[in-house]
């Protein structure tokens, strides 16, 4: 019996995440019958390669989803809100990478290693969580399963890739400017990103938390089905091209030993333990750019509380933080 194949569309195919989705579908041998690449009018006719063949980009419109089974959206929240329902009405299941539907009660928010069962609850749309939330929860879920986590304090070190291909280009150009003694003029970012870091450039609310931090709080509770988890995030942009890092401290209901934690993490899907104290070798963005798995190290007792653990994680924002997670959802579908 031959494997069933699917008609797939990618909305936002020319962006950094869209291109990673194309590569990930090919690399993981997703059963694609046909692939439709969609983007804005300025990209129409652009050739993109898939499985050794060129596919021309088409204009994203409300009539773009006829006969499509799975529509992977990576075109931004505004475009998702405008066109996702048209895809659903045409019979497709939408996997959306934007924040447009994440907190909608009728839309499951899924990390396949964490809450795959939620996929069954979809009503046409499944949301891909924020990259920082995905990378964190892939590592924390195995620890939560040993003993529920009651509190998370997390500081992120977020790469330029989180703001797209143009942000990565800006980091490259600014680095050259600094090294050549030229004046740096930020364009996409509000501040100089080369040889600098700054608080995440999303809107800050009255409480003092920015939008990126609120995403980590709210999405963690929804994905884990636990509104009692207390989350205190601090999100920071750093001059790294791709792969986000996070320093995480957790409190649990009971004391989980470092040995117990390492054993659970070593068996967890999508996780690599890199914790070599003798060689001072731990996860670094440069080593996990292009990697599917999330790396974890610096696993140690949190000396500031009784039931605490501290750790450091690193994951490719464009892959597990976006494209790969979306394709894994499609595979589960």
Residues labelled catalytic:
131, 244
Contact 170, 237 (CB under 8 A): no
Q: Largest Cα–Cα distance in the chain?
A: 64
Collapsing DSSP to helix, strand or coil, 268 comes out as: coil
Collapsing DSSP to helix, strand or coil, 1 comes out as: coil
Q: How many whole angstroms separate alpha carbon 88 and alpha carbon 86? A: 5
Look up tokens 């390669």; give the residue: 49
The strand ranges marked E within the chain are: 6-11, 32-39, 47-50, 53-56, 58-59, 70-73, 93-96, 125-127, 149-158, 198-199, 230-237, 244-252, 271-273, 294-301, 308-315
Contact 160, 239 (CB under 8 A): yes
Q: C-alpha angle with apex 143: 137 to 148, nearest 5 degrees?
A: 95
Q: How many whole angstroms separate alpha carbon 305 and alpha carbon 249? A: 10
- Give residues with Cβ within 8 angstroms of 70, minimum separation 6: 6, 7, 8, 9, 92, 93, 95, 330, 333
Nearest to 171 by CA among 183, 156, 188: 188
Residue 106, number of CB atoms within 10 A of its CB:
10
Tokens for 258?
Answer: 């470092």
């Amino acid at each position: 019996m031959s494997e069933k194949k699917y008609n797939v569309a990618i909305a936002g195919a020319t962006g950094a995440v869209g291109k990673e989705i194309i590569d990930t579908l090919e690399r993981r041998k997703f059963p694609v019958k046909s692939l439709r690449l969609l983007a804005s009018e300025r990209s129409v006719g652009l050739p993109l390669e898939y499985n050794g063949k060129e596919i021309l980009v088409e204009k994203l419109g409300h009539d773009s989803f006829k006969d499509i089974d799975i529509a992977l959206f990576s075109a931004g929240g505004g475009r998702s809100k405008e066109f996702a329902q048209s895809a659903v009405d045409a019979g497709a299941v939408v996997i959306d990478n934007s924040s447009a539907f994440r907190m909608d009660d009728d839309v499951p928010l899924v990390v396949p290693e964490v809450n795959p069962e939620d996929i069954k609850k979809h009503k046409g749309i499944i949301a891909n969580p924020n990259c920082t939330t995905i990378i964190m929860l892939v590592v924390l879920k195995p620890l939560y399963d040993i003993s529920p986590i009651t509190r998370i304090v997390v500081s992120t070190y977020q790469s330029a890739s989180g703001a797209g291909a143009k942000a990565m280009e800006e980091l490259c150009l600014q680095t050259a400017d600094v090294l050549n003694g030229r004046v740096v003029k930020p364009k996409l970012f509000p501040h100089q990103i080369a040889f600098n870091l700054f608080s995440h450039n999303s809107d800050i609310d009255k409480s003092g938390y920015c939008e990126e931090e609120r995403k980590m709080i709210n999405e963690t509770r929804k994905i884990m089905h636990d509104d009692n988890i207390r989350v205190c995030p601090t999100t920071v942009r750093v001059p790294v091209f791709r792969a986000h890092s996070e320093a995480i401290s957790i409190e649990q209901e009971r004391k989980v030993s470092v040995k117990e934690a390492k054993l659970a993490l070593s068996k967890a899907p999508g996780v690599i333990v890199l914790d070599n104290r003798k060689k001072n070798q731990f996860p670094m963005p440069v080593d996990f750019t292009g990697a599917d798995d999330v790396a974890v190290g610096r696993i140690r007792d949190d000396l500031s509380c009784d039931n605490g653990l501290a750790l450091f994680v690193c994951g490719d924002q464009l892959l597990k933080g976006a494209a790969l997670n979306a394709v894994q959802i499609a595979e589960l579908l």
